Amino acid sequence: METLEVALGDRSYPIYIGVGCLDQANLVQQHVVGQQVMIVSNDTIAPLYLEKAKALFVGYDVSWVILPDGEKYKDLDHLNLIFDALLKHRHSRSTTLVALGGGVVGDMTGYAAASYQRGVNFIQLPTTLLAQVDSSVGGKTGVNHRLGKNMIGAFHQPQCVIIDPNCLQTLPARQLSSGLAEVIKYGLIWDEAFFSWLELEVDNFAKLDMAVIERAIYRSCEIKAEVVAQDERENGVRALLNLGHTFGHAIENCAGYGEVLHGEAVAIGTYMAADLSKQLGWLTDADCVRIEQLTQRAGLPLIPPPELSASALRDAMNLDKKVENGKVRLVLMTAIGKACVTLDFEQHQLEKTLAAGESLCK
Amino acid sequence: METLEVALGDRSYPIYIGVGCLDQANLVQQHVVGQQVMIVSNDTIAPLYLEKAKALFVGYDVSWVILPDGEKYKDLDHLNLIFDALLKHRHSRSTTLVALGGGVVGDMTGYAAASYQRGVNFIQLPTTLLAQVDSSVGGKTGVNHRLGKNMIGAFHQPQCVIIDPNCLQTLPARQLSSGLAEVIKYGLIWDEAFFSWLELEVDNFAKLDMAVIERAIYRSCEIKAEVVAQDERENGVRALLNLGHTFGHAIENCAGYGEVLHGEAVAIGTYMAADLSKQLGWLTDADCVRIEQLTQRAGLPLIPPPELSASALRDAMNLDKKVENGKVRLVLMTAIGKACVTLDFEQHQLEKTLAAGESLCK
């Protein structure tokens, strides 16, 4: 088992990564202050892992709440089900919430923890690759609004994150690919060598090669922890983690939450960012081909569903959190392994990217 | 005009107190960072003060959202109306929310500001005495849950608080009395001289003697600012501000939100706290008589509505945020001007207080 630290002063916390670490009760128990634990999961994950999670808290007063699975339930109404359960079971300010599931469960549990009695502790037990490499680390929590993704939330750091790659044994292939989109992102924004290593190893993810997966999770979390420690509230460098996300959120919003998986939308959005970067002369044709090939080999889509019009995507992008004075700041790439946040593009160039469809990066 | 500071490091902010200060656009504008302003008010206050508030922001991009008036609308559904308005008008992360109203509007606006895009700025323009002396200062924000008051929320400090006692000209007498309950509380927990001064001046509040009201607001805010600066997140001394509130929240919850006004419930709760303090030998008969008389002269009730049973109140109290290991911590008084947080009472003594009705403090 390996341990990373997210260094945030009195909000610092460890990330434990290792096959089988979800079986180690002592690991998680040292991060539980009181006697009450509320496990939050969904109806896909609970049948697979709820008993395992409960076994971590023998001797505690454990309750659980099971949400319907899916991005489309990541809203205030379903958040309220967590509050209902906490109040029904009379959980106090010293309770610990435990997020057992993917990104949606983690984001909702974290926001519920940020808000219940104005803030209680929580722990992340991510069970999808996407949550393990990205959403469980860094303290971004929240829910969607009909008019925009992740528009309602809080920065609230967990007490610890426990990542057991064994959970990926039960993860559908499409979900595994979705997580790979975020892994590829770290290579693109931060670490060309990691991107090259992924080019060598990408086929081993689908084969569930645990050594490869564990290394990818470790390096992804290491980069994320470094970025978050520098800029917890996204006033600067943390924005780079949003590569592909402004395009991606617009795709998710226009397609209807859950129709295109988050990682799929990020993959498409990253390819759109590559297209715009290429228009600006920042990426070469060869760079774009590398991105295209790795994305495809990871089992991810490259172009948006044809029914999403450029104008619908543009309108959705204008609602993004990154909009200032009517113009959206985008993360673009200047090389593989190097990205920047920029307003340095013309509207007609963005329009061209949004309308490109199969001509993206061509 | 007088200025107080709530000293919280990089979250410090001023409280401006003075007749007519709601007419000074320069006062508020220095605390607005971007160009967008969203005024949140209710359908009682908006007809009286919305135009005045809008006049403070000439030259800004001003939107507004009007909520239904009342504690019973302080919930997640109505909070979502604020998010709807922010997204519909495309407010960015640099927007400023402006709470124009009483405690409910302030708490909801503050929580919306804490949550929108994971945190934006907000300003308090309190229009009720209760909000002016208590709820607008200190950064406690949130909404109610069916099973408990203020159970969902955040600590989120405003950029400034602007208190114009002139607003009280339009405040119904019952609401003015409700605010006095919190004013009396400051005397009871912190400042015997202030309590004595209130005994002299209490009749001048109903006469809208602005000099008396301004002095009462100033001293109340001064005490609150001092307490909050020492203990922002209520790990210690801040809990004293909850005198009467654990009883009071139970009364509000059992009676149905809005039936008994918050200040009325606090007045009753304070008298219950006096009863329990007297049972413990901490308050004398004479102290209780002083509390009884000042409360009555302020136009406030002393005993809970007879339809609220002791067992219903006890059950509601057990849901309070101050419950630990099944026992509720209470703020009790050891003298007029001196209070403590304690578990140092027997359950049967608490039961006696809850069942006392007209025999409270007798």
Pick the closest to residue A283 from A360, A180, A343 (CA basis).
A360
**Residue to test with chain A: of B108, B143, B152, most A Cβ within 10 A:** B152
- Name beta bridge partners: A38: A63, A97
> In this complex, how many residue pairs, one in chain A and one in chain B, have their CB atoms less than 8 Å apart?
91
Determine the pLDDT at residue B126.
Answer: 98
**Residue to test with chain A: of B76, B84, B115, most A Cβ within 10 A:** B115
CB atoms within 10 A of CB B359: 11
Segments of A257-345 assigned E as strands = 323-324, 327-328, 330-335, 338-342
For B219-232, how does the pLDDT look when each residue is reduced to its tens digit (9 = 90+)? 999 999 999 999 99
What CATH number matches the domain at B2-169, 3.40.50.1970, 3.40.50.12640, 3.40.50.1370, 1.10.630.10?
Answer: 3.40.50.1970
Of the pLDDT bands very low, low, confident and very high (cuts 50, 70, 90), residue A42 is very high
* B142 φψ region: left (φ > 0), alpha (ψ -120 to 50), beta (else): left
Spatial distance between the Cα atoms of B357 and A44, rounded to a whole number of angstroms: 52
Q: Amino acid identity, residue A285?
A: D
Determine the pLDDT at residue A140.
Answer: 97
Quote the mean pLDDT of chain A. 96
Determine the pLDDT at residue A149.
Answer: 87
Quote the mean pLDDT of chain B. 96
Give the pair of three-digit tokens for residue B21.
């200060």
Q: Amino acid identity, residue A186?
A: Y
Q: How many residues does chain A have?
A: 362
Q: Label residue A241 exposed, middle or buried (CB < 10 Å: 0-12, 13-18, 19+).
A: buried
Looking at residue A150, the DSSP 8-state letter turns out to be: E
- Assembly ipTM: 0.93
Spatial distance between the Cα atoms of A262 and A74, rounded to a whole number of angstroms: 13
> Is B116 in contact with A79 (Cβ distance < 8 A)?
no
> Is A118 in contact with B153 (Cβ distance < 8 A)?
yes
Active-site pick, B121, B150, B166, B182 = B182
CB atoms within 10 A of CB A157: 25
Q: Which CATH architecture has domain A2-170?
A: 3-Layer(aba) Sandwich (3.40)
Active-site pick, B42, B121, B150, B242 = B242
Determine the pLDDT at residue B65.
Answer: 98
Determine the pLDDT at residue A109.
Answer: 98
Residue with tokens 């007063």: A61
Of the pLDDT bands very low, low, confident and very high (cuts 50, 70, 90), residue A130 is very high
> Is A321 in contact with B92 (Cβ distance < 8 A)?
yes
Determine the pLDDT at residue B320.
Answer: 75
CB atoms within 10 A of CB B55: 12
For B107-121, how does the pLDDT look when each residue is reduced to its tens digit (9 = 90+)? 999 999 999 999 999
Determine the pLDDT at residue B319.
Answer: 78
For residue B134, what are the contacts with CB-CB under 8 A and spacing of at least 6? B103, B179, B182, B220, B224, B241
What CATH number matches the domain at A173-359, 3.40.640.10, 2.40.10.10, 1.20.1090.10, 3.55.50.30?
Answer: 1.20.1090.10
> Is B321 in contact with A76 (Cβ distance < 8 A)?
no
| Contacts with B140 from chain A: Cβ below 8 Å | 118
Is B60 in the A-facing interface, judged by CB distances under 8 Å?
no
Give the pair of three-digit tokens for residue B294.
């000042």
Residue A97's alpha-carbon distances to A35, A54, A57, in angstroms, are 11, 12, 12
Is A327 in the B-facing interface, judged by CB distances under 8 Å?
no
Phi and psi at residue B126, to the nearest 5°: -75, 135
Spatial distance between the Cα atoms of B120 and B39, rounded to a whole number of angstroms: 13
Spatial distance between the Cα atoms of B342 and B279, rounded to a whole number of angstroms: 14
Spatial distance between the Cα atoms of B44 and B50, rounded to a whole number of angstroms: 10
Is B33 in the A-facing interface, judged by CB distances under 8 Å?
no
Q: Amino acid identity, residue A175?
A: Q
Is B318 in the A-facing interface, judged by CB distances under 8 Å?
yes
Q: Report the percentage of chain A scoring pLDDT > 90.
A: 94
Determine the pLDDT at residue B323.
Answer: 75
**Residue to test with chain B: of A33, A152, A246, most B Cβ within 10 A:** A152
Question: Model pTM?
Answer: 0.94
Is A335 in the B-facing interface, judged by CB distances under 8 Å?
no
Spatial distance between the Cα atoms of B121 and B127, rounded to a whole number of angstroms: 19
Phi and psi at residue A100, to the nearest 5°: -115, 95
Give the pair of three-digit tokens for residue A173.
């292939």
Confirm if A134 and A97 have CB atoms less than 8 A apart: no
Residue A236's alpha-carbon distances to A144, A190, A232, B96, in angstroms, are 23, 14, 9, 21
Determine the pLDDT at residue A124.
Answer: 98
Q: Determine the distance in angstroms separating the CA of A248 from the nearest CA of chain B, rounded to an integer.
A: 17
Angle A52-A58-A63 from CA coordinates, rounded to 5°? 75
Give the pair of three-digit tokens for residue B278.
């007297």
pLDDT (average), residues B40-48:
98
Query: What is the residue extent of each domain of chain A?
Result: 2-170, 173-359
Give the pair of three-digit tokens for residue A214.
């564990």
> Is A118 in contact with B155 (Cβ distance < 8 A)?
yes
Of the pLDDT bands very low, low, confident and very high (cuts 50, 70, 90), residue B149 is confident
Spatial distance between the Cα atoms of B168 and A97, rounded to a whole number of angstroms: 43
Q: Which are the catalytic amino acids of A?
A: 118, 140, 182, 224, 234, 238, 242, 245, 249, 262
For residue B290, what are the contacts with CB-CB under 8 A and spacing of at least 6? B195, B199, B336
